[in-house]
Amino acid sequence: MKKRISVLLATVAVMTTMLAVSVAPAFARAPHWTCTHPETGAVAVDMPSNAKHFFFKEGFECVKQ
């Protein structure tokens, strides 16, 4: 009986770990950027990667947060 319980607990532990690993990417934060214009001093904070390219073309200097 003890062996059955330990196998059941081990199975539940493995399934819980698999569930946590599959759900974790949903809560991961994509890299964001802070962009500053060297001439005007304008600052754009917390920009996603796709917006960074627009600011870079406009002369902003961007740094990954």
- The two tokens of residue 24 are 């974790």
Residues constituting the chain: 65
The reported pTM is: 0.46
CB 65 within 8 A of CB 32: yes
How many structural domains compose the chain? 1
DSSP 8-class letter at 35: E
- The two tokens of residue 58 are 């406009």
Smallest CA-to-CA distance from 45 within 54, 27, 29, 32 is with 32
> What is the tens place of the pLDDT at every residue in 28-60?
777 778 888 888 888 887 777 777 778 778 888
Smallest CA-to-CA distance from 36 within 65, 1, 4 is with 65
Q: Give the domain extent around 53.
A: 2-64
